[in-house]
Structure 1
Amino acid sequence: MTATLPRAGAAPVASMRRRGRAPGLFSVLPLLVFTAIAFGLPAVAMLNGAFTVKDQATGAATYSLANMTASLRGPYLTALLGSIKLSAVSAAIAAAVGLPLAQVVVTSRFRALREAVLTASGVLANFGGVPLAFAFVATLGNAGVLTRHLGLTAAGWDLYSFWGLVIVYLYFLIPLMVLTITPALEGLRSQWREAAHNNGATTLQYWLHVALPVLAPSLLGGLVLLFGSAFAAYATAAAMVGSSVPLVTLQIADALSGNVLVGQENVALALSLDMVLVAALVMAVYLPLQRRSARWLA
């Protein structure tokens, strides 16, 4: 039998690789520590509280599914379904409006217009909370400027309703859709359009059979992202509609503050866990779609 001798230089190369990995691990260590503190500890506390039931008389704590069961019944289930409905409707409308708007921006010959729209979209996509609610109340509320001048109250307009909240959400969801879909639209090659036209395809046929199938992963991914953004919104709805529109984020705030029933803090944590599960499902759909879209448009 013959012994296999190591190649010359193999050990130094392996040693250099190990030394090269060490600085990389140390450089990412602060991020890992921050993630563990900022996300890991709250997640553990939420999981522990969601499955902990306290006896109001004795204060004894036991682990049970009672909180999770309560979060899927009665007004809590109504609020969860209301948030899902509001998010789905808002995301669908924002996607339908944002796609053609982004296409106009991408195909525009005016660079200044494109930069202005994208800059404004970046600002508006992050404009929310109490300032956004106040702006709409002052404009379209019961005593708002446009409401009084256009006589919208007589026409049945009500800002503090489901559809009023949808319009408010569209204010930041449409710009978010423009930002999300613009890179995908820029990735559509002009050769595809020219080839389709050379083969006798109309513009509508090109979009139906070429552009939209290629954009489908990005469109679905953008739709999922819009859904998640609307689903997690809290401050705007809390400042504008209060409890008149059942939303899971508002139910969590009421349970934590004891506005409905005392001692429902752990039910609020169970509702938060429900939201995390919905968000995880959303991300499980979003990430594969983004990878598939990147392969097509690379």
Structure 2
Amino acid sequence: MRTRSWAWLGLVPFAVYLGLFLALPTALAIGTGFFDRDGAFTWANVAALVDPVILTTFANTTWLSALTAAVGAVLGALVCYAALGLPPTGLVRSMLDAAAGVLAQFGGVMLAFVFIATIGVQGVVTVFLRDSFGVDLQPGSWLYSLPGLILPYIYFQVPLMVITFLPALSALKPQWTEANLVLGGTRASFWTRVGLPVLAPSFLASFLLLFANAFSSYATAAALASQGSQIVPLQIRAALTSETVLGRENLAGALALGMIVVVGVVMALYAAIQRRAARWQA
């Protein structure tokens, strides 16, 4: 006789957590975009997504996310490749894993303060270079503009790439290298014909994850760029706090809908590529 399993009850607390802190806020954020201040249904907020200013904001967020994801993916992959020569249980490898886990979560106001204190207008490095060599790192205070977000974003993108891509790189089987050498291949031919094609899905999936991570980042940008709304998360902040957006009081909900669509498409592609990459990692 087949007995009923109650193991699923262990997932109930996690399901409640997801419902209260992820699903419900998402539904409320999206839902408000279809209603005006009086609670009447309207398309005005969603129609604002094709406004040139909003489209420019999405374009800024997209190129910033793509650039930092590409740079972070390449640099992180190089770090992973260097880590292959380290013993998996050695001290250096353990320190690398720990550092990647910590730095990937080091963002927000703390990260903004680090960059301001280091290369800000009166940062330690800025003052030293200006007083000692006459080099000014802050013409026009670029750190507090859209280009100034590139370095802070790369700072947490690289360790995130290490976390996601190192397991895939470590899963390359030594037997494949030996078979390549037995058949007369070289190190270069192994990477071009075996290593890179096999790792390509995992690398692309990691890149998509980094893109989604940068696209949805808010705290670091909010701490650095206190003026202006050059990316979507800051535009949402402006829509929530501004009292001059007449007729589009719930524009933030429509902007959140746009972000969720973009991030949802990216994460769906990520999941599909990860399933394909898992075939050879098993």
Same fold (TM over 0.5): yes
Secondary structure at the counterpart of residue 84 of structure 2? helix
**Share of identical aligned residues, percent?**
39
- Normalising by structure 2, we get a TM-score of 0.90
Deviations 1:57-98 (A, max 9, x none): xx4x32222211102313222111111111000000000111
Aligned to 1:62, which of 40, 63, 71?
Answer: 40
Q: Please say if residues 36 and 249 of structure 2, whose CA atoms lie closer than 8 Å, have aligned partners that are also in contact.
A: no
Deviations 1:21-49 (A, max 9, x none): xx234443333333333233223322321
Please report how far the alpha carbon of residue 260 of structure 1 lies from its aligned counterpart in structure 2 after TM superposition: 5.3
> Alignment RMSD, CA only?
2.1
Aligned to 1:253, which of 214, 237, 240?
Answer: 237
| In 1: Cα distance, 2:179 partner to 2:244 partner | 63
- 1:94 paired residue number: 72
Alignment of 1:170-249 (within 5 A): 170-244=154-228, 246-249=230-233
Structure 1 unaligned regions, length at least 5:
1-12
| In 2: Cα distance, 1:29 partner to 1:93 partner | 39
Q: Please say if residues 201 and 277 of structure 2, whose CA atoms lie closer than 8 Å, have aligned partners that are also in contact.
A: yes
Higher-Rg structure is: 1
- One-letter identity of the residue aligned with 2:42: S
Q: 1:101 to 1:160 in 2, by over 3 A?
A: same
Point out which structure has higher relative CO (alpha carbons under 8 A, 6+ apart): 2
Deviations 1:215-261 (A, max 9, x none): 11110110011111111111111111223561000010011011653
Q: Alignment length, in residue pairs? A: 276
| In 2: Cα distance, 1:109 partner to 1:42 partner | 44
Structure 2 unaligned regions, length at least 5:
none
- Normalising by structure 1, we get a TM-score of 0.86
- One-letter identity of the residue aligned with 2:48: A
1:39 is the counterpart of 2:22? yes
- One-letter identity of the residue aligned with 2:180: A
| In 2: Cα distance, 1:150 partner to 1:125 partner | 29
Secondary structure at the counterpart of residue 131 of structure 1? helix
Please report how far the alpha carbon of residue 150 of structure 1 lies from its aligned counterpart in structure 2 after TM superposition: 2.5
- One-letter identity of the residue aligned with 1:236: T
- One-letter identity of the residue aligned with 2:35: T
Q: Please say if residues 258 and 264 of structure 1, whose CA atoms lie closer than 8 Å, have aligned partners that are also in contact.
A: no
